[in-house]
Chain A
Amino acid sequence: MADEMTASPPDAAAAFLKQWHKTTTSTVHVFQEEAGPYKKIELHDFKFLGKNFQSQTYVGTKNGARVAGTEHTGAGVCAEFRDILFKAQEFIFRSYAAEVRSKGETPSESGFTQWCNIGVVSGWQFRSRQHSKGAAIDLDPKTNPYVPTGKTSDPKGALGGEQHAALNGETLGDIRQACLGTYANAFRLVYGEKMAVDAMSHDIKDDTALAYEAMLKVHYAVVVYSQLAFLTTKDNRLDGSFGIGRPLGPETEPGSFLRTLKESGPLVKGKPDADLQKQFNTIRDDYENLRLGMVYGKLKAASPGHMNSGAIWEQATRDPCYGFLTIRKEIAVGLRAAGCRWGAMDFGAAQNGDMMHFDKKWAIEQIAHSDDPNADGLLYVQK
Chain B
Amino acid sequence: MNKALRYLFALIVGMVVVWSFLLPDAKGFAYPEFARVFFWHFPCPILGTVFLGLTCWFSFVYLKTKDLKWDIRAEAANDLTFMFWILTMLSGIIFSELQWGIWWQWDPRQTSFLLVLLVYSAMMAFRMSLADETRRAANTAAFVLASAAPILFLIYIFPYLPQIKASSFHPTGSIMEGKIRGAYAYAIILTLTITSILSAKAYKMRVQIGLIEFALDNSDGQLEIPRIDPAPTAVVRPILLSDED
Do A and B bind?
no
